[in-house]
Chains A and B, each alone.
Chain A
Amino acid sequence: MNMIFLLIGFSILLALLFLLAFFWASKSGQHDDLYTPGVRILFEEEKPSETRIEQKSDEDHPFT
């Protein structure tokens, strides 16, 4: 049963890690703007130019 001491210690440590992750997120301003990132993620990735696309597609399918 003494295992429980160890397990509780680990679980608290793990929880502390999440708390620290939250502190970091809060400090880096991730909770300041909760709206714009949700819109931003929906924008299409712009393709820089036509030639780049062709090159890239070649790399993607080396056997064709």
Chain B
Amino acid sequence: MKETNSLTVETHCFHCGDDLPEPPYPADDKQFCCLGCQGVYQILSSHNLSSYYLYNDVPGVSQQKKAPHFNYLDEPGIAAELVDYTDARITVISLFIPVIHCSSCIWLLENLHKINPAIAQSRVDFLKKQVTITFKNQQISLRQVVEMLSMIGYEPLISLQDMIKKQRSDHSERNLLTKIAVAGFCFGNVMLLSFPDYFGLNSFEQNFKNFFGWINLAFAIPVLLYSARDYFISAWTNLKNGVLNLDFPLALGIAVMFIRSAYEIITQTGAGFVDTLCSLVFFLLIGKWMQKRTYHYLSFERDFRSYFPVAVTQLKDGQEKPIPLNELKTGDRILIRGNEIIPADAILLKGEAELDFSFVTGESLPLAKVLGEIVYAGGRQLRGAIELEVVKPVSQSYLTKLWNNEAFSGQKDPIKTFSDTASRYFSIVLVAIALAAGLYWINTDVNKAIAAFTAVLIIACPCALALSSPFTLAAVLSIFDQNKFYLKNTAVIEELARIDTIVFDKTGTITNPQATGFDFSGTLDQHQKQLVSDLARNSGHPLSRELVKWLAVNPYFPVEHYMEKVGRGISGRLDGHDVKLGSAAYLGLKTQDKGSVVHILIEGHYSGYFRSSQRWRDGFKQLALKLGQKADLHLLSGDQDHDRKTLTPFFPRMQQLHFQQSPQQKLDYILRLQETGAKVMMLGDGLNDAGALKQSNLGIAVTDDINNFSPGCDAILDGAAFKKIPQFIQQAKDAVKVIHMSFAISLLYNVVGLFFAVQGLLSPLMAAILMPVSTITIILFTSLTARFYARKNKLL
């Protein structure tokens, strides 16, 4: 082994950087780990695209997985729903390509026309991991475009959900930016024109005053009617529903400010509050934008449709025909090729089924099925083609019928935020003070009464209050983002602070799917170990491969009479001994296997068994102990209970460990916890947790690659950040504290302003200073303290 290593200088694949096998796949003077990588390199170099390798070292992605078939893209009905635009000459399609990860990817995907001139243009949106391709549909078909992408290692993910996504392209972000621009434009000009008045004008300059006033009023109109429109609409709809939120005092303040300014300017009695009005709207909109800004283009709304294929190959009268999933009926015969997903519960009729259910259950070891067995939807076939008969339509399958549950039909109750609660009281108190001030003066001086009434509404307009939450939460969101914890929106942070019950899924969530180990029961001497390792080396089954890795002995004996029964066991003759490895059923043992077990039979003599055991994620033990002090911990696993003993120390109460739970049972369990008043956080990873994630107050999907599929949830947690959960919870609690504090500060400003306002003494200048100063204080205070707490919690 060592000699060959010293001969080849390169030990990593030139394309993807994986370790090289023995022997590697060569091309030119480069070495590749597999035929796929080698193929991609050859395509690129023959089209003068070798610059791909210049911008980054090993920009490629391992090509060891086989590409699926895209025949269904030739069906006009399916293709029509996927494309953005098509006419007689060109077609435009946007494709989601999860593997886009570096500048080389951008470069290659934007140079597709060099591979095939029929591609007119291709544009990458890196953050969305999306490429928009315009191609000449007379020269190349949609299927050929997708196959070409797949051939160079950029396989697009085409799912049922994409077809739905198309319909609601969203321009709200763009609209908000335009509103901010208008408000900022008016704010700047109004400030400039208001300064002369504040500094005092000479008597001969008085004619400017009117002119400036009228221009200011003109600037206020677009701010009132366009930029601030959403506040009026929201205040009105909430009022109709009998809810008082923060938008009500804001809308009231803006309206009063405009009316009083217009009155003062038209009657030439004062300068008005136009600059305060414009700055208020400008800052408010910035706060809104901060809150809406998402750092990652992750999808939090995925369900089984984005995991399932768009179409499936139906076998009818010996003919293969791709049909859309929703046309699949009970009794249909379908063909599933290697690396394709089984879309509906079906009976295996032909072929060797070895299914990877990792997306469904989190279990990384594949499952073998025999003819006549029912295969549940969601498994990915790893071997060759199989034929199945559908027993249930797609939407009624064991897994997918979960989405018919009412937890998915209705909108989840919006998370109750602190600012919603506080603003109700705030609004009532504000209106009460304004009325009291007005009534106090009304007998002595009507003008002063109106002045006091409007001044209170203007000065107490809760701008700083409205910005406390967005700025704090946006700061925390970005801190979480840096720590690989991605939240759907800012309200999730407040929900996180309230959590008192935590429910874990087992496989793939608290265990690390990448690391497996083995427990061995029995006796094996060194020689026998060698025999087992050498035999297992011949099998491509993941369990065998893991076993070889775990035993860690160099190959020695050659194998004769090698036999493999897919998914059940292997046998062979080594060094004069008959060795058999496999399941209990394969070896004719009477025991029932629990979990993934490999039994050993040497010369007909039983030597013991290996059981694959999963490794806990880094720091799980400390994490469980730490979380257990503050919250109630539960475990919901879809697996057998052979891990019960090892897990008991972490889950203090035995009745909180539940095994063999179906997706529906998981959902119901969360519901029962919630009925006792618990605020439940669910951590899961597979589709079988989707119901529980949806039902819980806060569903977190744990994943090791955020670009991979993750079920619908409120937050996505990278596996590497798993051990930081207690810090995240603490940070969320601190964030709520910061919001409370900044509420107090902004109330203080309001009180100072009110002191002058109730006496009818508020001058436009005072309002113009107080409003921005309070706003900037809040912005600085919230962002700095949020970061301070993040340092304290070791998140920065």
* Chain A contacts to B: CB under 8 angstroms: 1, 4-5, 8, 12, 15-16, 19, 22-23, 26-27, 31-33, 35-36, 39-40, 42-44, 46
Contact = CB atoms under 8 A, between A and B. Distances in A.
A42 B189 CA distance: 38
Contact of B103 (A8, A22, A26, A42): A42
Given A12-B189, A40-B106, A33 B125 contact: yes
B625 interface: no
A1 B127 CA distance: 54
B185 A19 contact: yes
Contacts, number: 50
A41 to B, nearest CB: 11
Interface of B: 51, 55, 103, 106-107, 110-111, 124-128, 174, 177-178, 181-182, 185, 188-189, 193, 205, 208, 211, 215
Contacts of B124: 36
Contact of A39 (B103, B111, B174, B188): B103
21 contacts: A4-B208, A15-B189, A16-B185, A19-B185, A22-B178, A22-B181, A23-B178, A26-B178, A31-B174, A32-B125, A32-B174, A33-B125, A35-B126, A36-B106, A39-B103, A40-B106, A40-B110, A42-B103, A43-B55, A43-B107, A46-B111
Contact of A15 (B125, B177, B185, B215): B185
A7 to B, nearest CB: 12
A19 B181 CA distance: 7
Contacts of A40: 106, 110
A5 to B, nearest CB: 7
Contacts of B127: 33, 35-36
B84 to A, nearest CB: 13
A12 B111 CA distance: 44
B126 A39 contact: yes
A26 to B, nearest CB: 6
Nearest to B185: A19
Secondary structure dominating the interface of A: helix
Contacts of B174: 26-27, 31-32
A64 to B, nearest CB: 29
A43 B177 CA distance: 30
A36 to B, nearest CB: 4
A23 B181 contact: yes
A57 B107 CA distance: 26
Contacts of A8: 193, 215
Given A32-B125, A42-B103, 16 more contacts: A8-B215, A15-B188, A16-B185, A23-B181, A26-B181, A27-B174, A31-B174, A33-B128, A36-B106, A36-B124, A36-B125, A36-B127, A39-B106, A40-B110, A43-B107, A44-B51
B792 to A, nearest CB: 32
A52 to B, nearest CB: 14
A15 B193 CA distance: 14
A26 B111 CA distance: 26
